[in-house]
Structure 1
Amino acid sequence: MHFTEPVYRNPYWPTWPLIQITQGCTHNSCKFCTMYKDVSFRMQPMDLLEEDLRELRADDPHAKTIQLLSANPLAPAYDRLMPRLELIKKYLPELEHMYTATRVSDLKNKTVEQLRNLRDIGVNEISLGVESGDAWTLKRINKGYAPEDILEQCHKLEEAGIQYWVTFLNGVAGREYSENHAIHTAEIFNQLKPMLVGTGGLTLFPGTPLLEEARRGEFTPLTERELMQELKLFLERLTCDCELNAHHTSSMNLSGPFLARKKEILDSLQYGIDHFDMDKLTKIRNKKRTL
C-alpha cells in the first residue's frame, strides 16, 4: 500500500481498509494546523491507486466500506475524481460506503447532480472540518471560506442526499471573541441538517501560527474552564437534531443523541466548570502532540 505521511483517518469510521486518492491538503494554511505542512497536494497516480486496489481485493474482495485519504480527497474536479472512484468500485464491487473527510470549499466545483453521482457510487457520508460559523473567526484562522459558503455547500449535500458531519473547534477564536464564535456557529449549524456535530478543544501545537501569535500576545488561548464555558454556550444555542461527538480533557461523556441528552450534557458541563481540577486538565492537554 502507498501512503504519504502523515496518515490521518477518522477513528469513528471503519479504520480498514484505507485507500489514498490524494496527497496533502489543497489549503494547508489553517493557523491551528501543521499536519500537511511539508506535503504538497497532488492526486495519487492512477498506477499506484490500481496497485493498492489489487492488494485490497486480494485481502478482502467483499469489502463493504473503505475510507478515502488524504486531507481532502473530494477537492479534485468531478471529471478527475470520478474515474478514481469508479476504479475503486471496479476492484471492490460490493462496496456500500466510501467515507471521507473534506473541506467545505471542495464542494464548490461540483453540482448537486454530480454530488448525487458521488452518493450513488458510495460517497454517502462525509466529514467537514468547519471549525466555526463566525465570519470573524473563520477569517482570523484562515479557513478560506465564509459562513455563507458553509450554508450553500451543506445545503447542496442535503439536496444530493449525502449525510455529513460538521465540527466546532472549541477555543479557536481566543478569549476576546469566544462568545461570538460559540453563538454564531450555533446559528449557522441550526440552519443545517448534519447527522453529527463533532467538537474538540483547541491545542496549540509547535509550529502553528496560532501558537506563535499567542507567544507574541496577539492571541489569548482559553483556559480549561473557559473552554467548558464556551462549549456550554455553543450547546445551549444548538438546536440540531443530530448526534454529538464531543472530546474533552476531562473525559466527560458528552456524546450521543444531542437533543435527547441536551439537559444532561449541559448539567455535566456546569458540574465540570464548578468542580473539576483545571490544573490537572491543563497538564493533560499539554501532553497532546497531534490533532
Structure 2
Amino acid sequence: MIQYDEPLFRPPSEAYSFILQVTLGCAWNKCAFCEMYSSKQFRTRKEEDIFADIDSMQPYANHYRKVFLADGNAMVLSFDKLSRILDRLNEKFPRLTRVSAYALPKDIEAKTDEELQQLAAKGLKLLYVGIESGDDELLGRINKSENYESTAKALKRARAAGIKLSVMILNGLGGKNYSHQHALNSAKVVNEIQPEFLSTLVLSYPYGEEHFAKKFDGEFIPLNTVELIAEMKVFIENLELESTVFRSDHASNYLVLRGNFPRDKQEMLNRINTVLNDPANAKLREEWMRGL
C-alpha cells in the first residue's frame, strides 16, 4: 500500500485518478499567497521508490485511466526521468489514457520542443498551471517566479507540442490598488495562450489576512465580495477565447460560474451584472460555505 507524504493536493478533476508522488513539495514555494507546501522541504523522490509505488498498484491497474503526478510541480523533473516514469506507467496500466501534473512555466521552458512532444506522445496530456495574474507588477509583489512573457512563451510551447493546459487566475490577488490592471492583464495573457481549460479561485488567507499582507510587497487592501465580482466582470469582458472550458465553481468562489468560451461569455456577464445591479438580493455563497 502506498504511504503518501502529507499534505497531498490534487486538482478537483483528478478525483478518480491514481495520485503518484514523484516530487515532494514545491520547487519554488515562495509565493506570498500560497501555503500549500509550507510544511515541506522540496525534494525529488528516488526513481526506485516511484517505480515501487507504480508496481504496487498493478492489481488495480484496470481501474485507472488517469494518473496525476504530484506534488507541486512534478514537471520540474528532467526529461529523462519523466520519460522513464511514463514508460513504466504505460507498461503497468494498460487502460491509461492520460497523465497530468502541476507545472511552473520555467519547468516547461527547461524542455526542448522535441522533448515536450515526446512526453506528450508517452501520455503526458495535461498540465495544470497557476498563472495567478498576467500583470508583471503584481507578480513581482507576490514573489511569483514568473512574469507575463515567461508564462506566455512556455505555455504556448506546451500547447504546440500537443499538451493541453488548465490554467488558473486568482481573483482578488492584488486587492483594491491593483484590481483593474490585474483583471486586464490576466485576460490578456490568457488570450495569448488560449488554454483548453480556465478557472478562477478567490484569494484566501489560511493564516489570516495580516499574514498575507506582510508578505505582499506593498499596500494590500482586500476586496469585498461585490468588488471581487466586479473584478471578475472586467476579466471576463476582456477574454477573447476560441474554445475554452471555464469554471469558477471552487469552494472559494462567492458566485458560481460555468460555461464554454466564446459561447457562454455573455450569459456569464449577464449573471455578474445581475449581482452587481442588486447585490443585496444576489444569491451568493455565504462566507462559511467557502470553507467547505
TM-score by length of 2: 0.90
Shift of 1:286: 8.7
* Equivalent position to 2:249, from 247, 272, 287: 247
Q: CA 1:107–1:207 in 2, change beyond 3 Å: closer, same or farther?
A: farther
**Structure-2 residue corresponding to 1:76:** 77
Residue 45 (structure 1) shift? 1.9
**2:107 aligned counterpart, secondary structure:** helix
Residue 38 of structure 2 is matched in structure 1 by 37
Does 2:109 match 1:108? yes
Mapped partners of 2:216, 2:64: distance in 1? 48
The question of 1:96 aligning with 2:103 is answered no
Alpha-carbon separation, structure 1, partners of 2:48 and 2:122: 21
Letter of the aligned partner of 1:90 in structure 2? Answer: E
Distance 1:114 1:209, change over 3 A: farther
Letter in 1 for 2:55: R
Q: Deviations over 1:66-86 (max 9, x none)?
A: 111111110122123222222
Contact 2:274 2:282 in 1 (8 A): no
More deviation in 114-123 or 97-106? 97-106
Whether 2:182 is the aligned partner of 1:159: answer: no
Q: Is structure 2 residue 258 aligned with structure 1 residue 258?
A: no
In 1, Cα distance between equivalents of 2:200 and 2:67: 24
SS in 2 for 1:66: strand
1:134-173 to 2 correspondences below 5 Å: 134-173=135-174
The 1:280–1:252 alpha-carbon spacing in structure 2 relative to 1, beyond 3 Å, is closer
Q: CA deviation at 1:52?
A: 1.4
Partners of 1:31 and 1:209 within 8 A in 2: no
Aligned equivalent of 1:267: 270
Structure 2 partner of 1:288? 291
The residue aligned with 2:204 is 203
User: Residues 141 and 217 of structure 2 are in contact (CA less than 8 Å); yes or no, is this contact kept in structure 1?
Assistant: no
Do 2:61 and 2:94's aligned partners in 1 also have CA atoms closer than 8 Å? Answer: no
Give the match for residue 221 of structure 2: 220
Asked if the contact 2:24–2:72 (Cα under 8 Å) also holds between the matched residues in 1, the reply is yes
Identity %: 28
Corresponding position of 1:87: 88
- Looking at structure 1, the residues matched to 236 and 191 of structure 2 have their Cα atoms a distance apart, in angstroms, of 11
Q: Distance in 1 between matches of 2:279 and 2:203?
A: 19
Unaligned runs of at least 5 residues, structure 1: none
**Alignment partner of 2:11: what SS?**
coil
- The alpha-carbon deviation at position 2 of structure 1 amounts to 2.8
After TM superposition, give the deviation of residue 252 of structure 1 in Å. 4.0
Counterpart CA distance in 1 for 2:33 and 2:163 is 28
**Cα pair 1:225 1:278 within 8 Å, conserved:** no
Contact 2:32–2:216, Cα closer than 8 Å, also in 1: no
Question: Counterpart of 1:126?
Answer: 127
Could you tell me how far 1:219 is from its partner in structure 2? Answer: 1.0
**Cα drift, residue 214 of structure 1:** 8.6
Contact 1:14–1:67 (CA under 8 A) maintained in structure 2: no
Cα distance in 2 for partners of 1:28, 1:22 equals 13
Amino acid at match of 2:222: P
For these two proteins, the number of residue pairs brought into alignment is 289
Distance 2:125 2:246 in 1: 19
Separation in 2, partners of 1:161, 1:70: 23
